[in-house]
Amino acid sequence: MKKIVIKLNGETRYTHVEPNDTLLDILRDNLGATSVKSGCERGDCGACAVLLQGESVRSCLIFAVEADGQAVETIEGMSKDRKMSDLQTAFHEKNAFQCGFCAPGTIISTVELLKENPQPEKAEIQEAIAGNLCRCTGYSTIIDTVKEFSEKK
């Protein structure tokens, strides 16, 4: 067991990890960030996407020890003053989710996209979320929501 430190949504958190624990394992089991979902454990589905040092990664493909000393952001950290972020609210208003299981990962990918490219074209949105599998929505509402949201900003 090794003690590591992670800045999770702005808060310094310490935890003990095994060498083969993934970042996904410890976010869910040790640090209570259950919005980070496990869907395939091999990097295919994107349900476990988080921001590591500001860049989206699949937390199932990263060992926890690799994240030692780094900042991790999940959607648990997006609400401010007891209100969801504008992006989350846009997803709600436009029904850009159904079962909700892939939504956290998709929102993480969207946050990263809009940071780098505040006015993305449709194809750029499709590319940015192509690593987040959704079986419910057929993606159209998600793409439209992100497009509309970015145009309003």
Partner 1 sequence: MKKEYTNIGKSALRIDGKEKLSGAAIYTDDIDFGPNLLYAEIVESPYAHAIIKNIDYSEALKVPEVITVVTGKDFPYQFGLYMKDRHIFPQKKVRFVGEQVAAVVARCPKVARRAAKLVKVEYEELEAVISQIDAAEDKPKTIVHEDLGNYWHVPWFFPRANTNIAHWRKIRKGEPDKAFKGAAYILDDTYNVPRYSHCPIEIHVAVGKYDLSGRLTIWASSQSPHTQRHVFAEALAPLGLKHGNIRVIAPHVGGGFGAKAGVTMEILAAAIATKVPGNPVKVLWTREREFYNTYQRLGVQARLKIGVDKTGKILALHHELLWDAGAYVEYGANVVNAVGLSAIGPYKIDNVSIDSVCIYTNLPPGGAYRGFGYSEFLFGLESHMTRIAKHLGLDPIAIRRVNAIKEGDTTAYGAKMNPNGLHKAIEAVEKEIDWYGKHTTNNPNKVIGKGFSLLWKAPAMPPNASSACFLKFNEDASINLLVSGMDIGQGYLTVMAQIAGEILGVPTSKIRSENPDTDRNPYEWQTVASHITWSSGNAVKKAAIDARNQIFDLIVRTKYLPKDELYLEDEKVKCHTNPNFELALKDFVVDGIQTKDGTYKGGPILGKGTFLPEFSTTKSNPETGQGGHPNVHYTVGAAAMIMEIDKNTGKIKILKAVEAIDCGKAINPDLVNGQIVGGLVQGLATVLYEDMRYSEKGKLLNPNFTDYKIPTAKDIPDVIVPIIVEVPQPDGPFGARGMGEHTMLPAAPMVANAVEDALGVRITSMPITAEKVIMTMIKEGKYKD
Compute the distance between CA of residue 89 and CA of residue 85 in angstroms, rounded to an integer.
6
Which of 13, 38, 61, 63 forms a contact with partner 1 (CB under 8 A)? 38
Q: Provide the 3-class DSSP secondary structure of residue 32.
A: coil
Helix axes 86-93, 103-116, angle to 10 degrees: 120
Regarding 63 and contact with partner 1 (CB under 8 A), the answer is: no
Give the shortest CB-47-to-partner 1 separation in angstroms. 6
125 in Cβ contact with 106 (< 8 Å): no
Which of 13, 66, 70, 141 forms a contact with partner 1 (CB under 8 A)? 141
Which of 30, 65, 71, 131 forms a contact with partner 1 (CB under 8 A)? 131
How many of the chain's residues bind partner 1 (CB under 8 A)?
53
Q: Provide the 3-class DSSP secondary structure of residue 68.
A: coil
The residues that bridge with 8 in the sheet, in sequence order, are 11, 72
Give the shortest CB-122-to-partner 1 separation in angstroms. 9
Regarding 125 and contact with partner 1 (CB under 8 A), the answer is: yes
Residues between 89 and 118 with contacts to partner 1, criterion CB under 8 A: 89, 91-93, 95, 97-104, 107
Compute the distance between CA of residue 88 and CA of residue 68 in angstroms, rounded to an integer.
29
Regarding 35 and contact with partner 1 (CB under 8 A), the answer is: yes
b/e code 90-107 from CB counts within 10 Å (16+ = b):
bbeeeebbeeebbbbbbb
**List of residues contacting partner 1 (CB under 8 A):** 20, 28, 33-35, 37-42, 44-45, 47, 74-76, 78-79, 84, 88-89, 91-93, 95, 97-104, 107, 125-127, 129-143
